Amino acid sequence: MAKVLIIRLSAIGDVAMTVPVIYSAAKANPDDTFTVLTQTFLIPVFINRPANISIIGINTKGSEKTLSGLLKFTSALVKYHFDIVLDLHNVLRTMMISWMFRLHGKRVFVIDKAQRERKKLTAQKNKLLKQLPLMTNRYADVFRAAGLNYSESFVSLYDENHPADLSPMAQLTGEKTGKWIGIAPFAKHRGKIYPIDNMEEVVATLSAHNDYTIFLFGGGAYEEATIEQWAYQYPHVKSVIGRYSLNNELALISKLDVLLCMDSANMHFASLVGTPVISVWGATHPYAGFYGYHQNPHDAIQRHLPCQPCSIYGNKPCYRGDWACMAQIKPEQIVHKIEQHLQQL
């Protein structure tokens, strides 16, 4: 029986992508125990987990932000006597944690982030536009390298024994009638955000359907102000922002007929609960390996410009200067894609 430590500290979407892999690995190795080290605020993502999975929280913006704080934390972590360490992040902080375990004679296995392939994918000249392995597959490869059994078995965070509970949100949602559409219009970086005026046009068009209810997701002061304005201005539009816990939002997402989002954490939250996603891509690209778990590749909307993708994370300035990859996507194209999906239900 092995004690396995799994490290993935951030970002939100990347941590969410570890869930299907970790849950599948835990079920494939029932005699082993798995401990996930991640940011404390992300612990709610790991709901309804197998009994042999536990979570340890770390706060890299608080007490573990400094070198001394991280070393103190890791010194305490080493005392748990893990047999195997799986670094699914491979950044400076996790390298330091792994180094401490290696000093104690522990086996450490680290994810291959394919930096060279990513550089070719985002190059301005001689771009090599090809599909890179999905991050979930890269995560699974780390488990295999450690000699652990792995077979993909994850379907959803919810099942018959652990149904989604919408009762805390009943005042907002009411009973479900017609189609429920989720829209998460924001992302961390500009290169992954559809122009807000165009997205408002999408919301306005969809809200004109009496049998559609639209739930808006987001976070942050600017996002909240924008979303609250849309919810006030358009019928059948409701804001979820700032009202409920992540657990509650996951439950609501699981009840949606479709979620429209960017290349963002919400795409991965929807993937964890089996909800179809229509995603809009600009500076980034599904080929980088960050597409939603078991999502349909045909539901990704993008312009396919020669310069795409120019970034893995969407955090680089547009060297064209016009953000054409997003600006040239018409609102009616997005609306048509959503309505086409709903008609197939």
pLDDT, tens digit (0-9, with 9 covering 90-100), for 250-267: 999 999 999 999 999 999
**Residue 225 in tokens:** 């102000």
pTM of structure: 0.96
Judged against a pLDDT cut of 90, whether residue 343 lies above it is answered with yes
Strand partners, 239: 216
Average pLDDT over residues 119-141: 97
Contact of 299 with 278, CB cutoff 8 Å: yes
Strand partners, 109: 86
Burial class of residue 95 (count of CB atoms within 10 Å of its CB; 0-12, 13-18, 19+): middle
pLDDT in tens, 149-195: 999 999 999 999 999 999 999 999 999 999 999 999 999 999 999 99
Report the percentage of the chain scoring pLDDT > 90: 98
Judged against a pLDDT cut of 90, whether residue 56 lies above it is answered with yes
pLDDT in tens, 273-308: 999 999 999 999 999 999 999 999 999 999 999 999
Q: Which CATH superfamily is domain 3-145 in?
A: Glycogen Phosphorylase B; (3.40.50.2000)
pLDDT in tens, 82-119: 999 999 999 999 999 999 999 999 999 999 999 999 99
Angle (CA) 117 267 125, round 5°: 25
**pLDDT value of position 345:** 84
**Tokens 């780390």 found at:** 142
Those residues with Cβ within 8 angstroms of residue 29's Cβ, 6 or more apart along the chain or in another chain: 2, 52, 148, 149
d(CA 325, CA 319): 12
What residues does each domain of the chain span?
3-145, 174-343
Residue type, 124: Q
d(CA 287, CA 211): 35
Instruction: Name which of 165, 161, 156, 162 is nearest 244 in CA terms.
Output: 165
Judged against a pLDDT cut of 90, whether residue 221 lies above it is answered with no
Judged against a pLDDT cut of 90, whether residue 219 lies above it is answered with no
Judged against a pLDDT cut of 90, whether residue 231 lies above it is answered with yes
Q: List the CATH code of the domain at 174-343.
A: 3.40.50.2000
**pLDDT value of position 32:** 98
